[in-house]
Structure 1
Amino acid sequence: MGNAMFYHLTRSPAEQLLPTLIGKSRQAGWRVELRGTDAARMARLDEALWQGDGFLPHGLAGGPHDALQPVLLTVGGAGDAGKGAGADCLIALDGAAVDPAECAPAQRVCIVFDGNDPTALDTARGQWRSLTGAGVAAEYWSEEGGRWERKR
């Protein structure tokens, strides 16, 4: 069972962290689902991932080759039509739902949230309680000190 890693953003936007998380997952040979809640935001991330430093092959869900995409950008909640089915790493963004059952087959689940947004913080806390309550091992990571550190 994959563990859930919570990334508490306080200094930088998700757009700076996502290429690192996706890149490390791809280096491990994992398929990635990047799950958001807003189609327009995912379209902007689609553009940003193509134009950033380094090549991160990916696609937006809804295309004819979704099952072949090494990184699939999706919109919706847990189990939403199986869009990211088969992903080894699920990266949830902007409060996108994560069902504890999705953690069992995954190598890793990453939950990225804006610690400067009280609603996002409350949502992440609820996700922590839901996942750990279901027996999913969880880690908390913070960039508060200027670099990413695992907190205990």
Structure 2
Amino acid sequence: MTELLFYHLQRRPPESVLPSLLEKSLERGWRVVVQVSSDERVEALDAHLWTYRDESFLPHGTDRDGLAAEHPVLITVRDHNPNRANVRFLVERAPMPADAATYDRIVVMFDGEDEEALAEARVIWREKKAEGFDVTYWQCDERGRWQKRG
């Protein structure tokens, strides 16, 4: 059964949250696809993951650099899985992939300050829960720690 985790971002951009979640995924031996909403976001996130921390970086690439199948973390705008990822992150309202049930885990990151994004997340929650996905909701507390809320 696919786990579907909803991360409610409030006053924090995806770039502040995504690196640590990707690191945890890699520590577990998972391969990851990160789907974003535009080519500009692919470029920005690609650059960010090389520089977000002075002492390290996340091994990753984009689907445009020709080695998509080799990357442990792949950033794309497309609904595909060339690196055989078992985890998919959907960022900034990227659509649910047609093959959603083939992943071990899908993480939907949405802007809690955006009413349309919040409404979309609620629709996805209801639909995927009805389809049998194991859905959970995560929200950041005042100390910056993620708390499971549902």
TM-score using structure 2 length: 0.90
- Give the aligned partner of residue 73 of structure 1: 75
Name stretches of at least 5 consecutive residues in structure 2 with no aligned partner. Answer: none
- Give the aligned partner of residue 93 of structure 2: 95
CA offset at residue 4 of structure 1?
A: 0.4
Conservation of the 8 A alpha-carbon contact between 1:60 and 1:73: yes
How well do the aligned residues superpose, as a CA RMSD in angstroms? 1.6
Conservation of the 8 A alpha-carbon contact between 1:100 and 1:136: no
Report whether the alignment pairs 1:133 with 2:135. no
Conservation of the 8 A alpha-carbon contact between 1:58 and 1:70: yes
Q: Does the residue aligned with 1:18 lie in a helix, a strand or coil?
A: helix
Conservation of the 8 A alpha-carbon contact between 1:6 and 1:112: yes
- Give the aligned partner of residue 58 of structure 1: 60
Q: What do residues 83-130 of structure 1 show as CA deviations (whole Å, max 9, x unaligned)?
A: 44511110001111114742x332211000000011111111121122
Tell me which moved more, 64-73 or 84-93: 84-93
- Give the aligned partner of residue 5 of structure 1: 5
- Which amino acid is the alignment partner of residue 44 of structure 1? A
Name stretches of at least 5 consecutive residues in structure 1 with no aligned partner. Answer: none
Report whether the alignment pairs 1:120 with 2:122. no
CA offset at residue 52 of structure 1?
A: 1.2
Q: Structure 1 stretches (4+) deviating beyond 3 angstroms? A: none
Report whether the alignment pairs 1:22 with 2:33. no
Q: 1:100 & 1:83 partners in 2: Cα distance?
A: 11
Q: What do residues 20-67 of structure 1 show as CA deviations (whole Å, max 9, x unaligned)?
A: 110000000111000011110121011000001122011111222101
- Which amino acid is the alignment partner of residue 93 of structure 1? V
CA offset at residue 144 of structure 1?
A: 4.5
- Which amino acid is the alignment partner of residue 2 of structure 2? G
TM-score using structure 1 length: 0.89
Conservation of the 8 A alpha-carbon contact between 1:35 and 1:96: yes
Sequence identity percentage = 36
The 1:7/1:84 distance shift into structure 2, 3 A limit, reads farther
Q: 1:26 & 1:5 partners in 2: Cα distance?
A: 17
Conservation of the 8 A alpha-carbon contact between 2:137 and 2:149: yes
- Give the aligned partner of residue 47 of structure 2: 47
Q: 1:150 & 1:5 partners in 2: Cα distance?
A: 10
CA offset at residue 70 of structure 1?
A: 0.5
Conservation of the 8 A alpha-carbon contact between 1:100 and 1:131: no
Conservation of the 8 A alpha-carbon contact between 2:3 and 2:106: yes
Conservation of the 8 A alpha-carbon contact between 2:37 and 2:93: yes
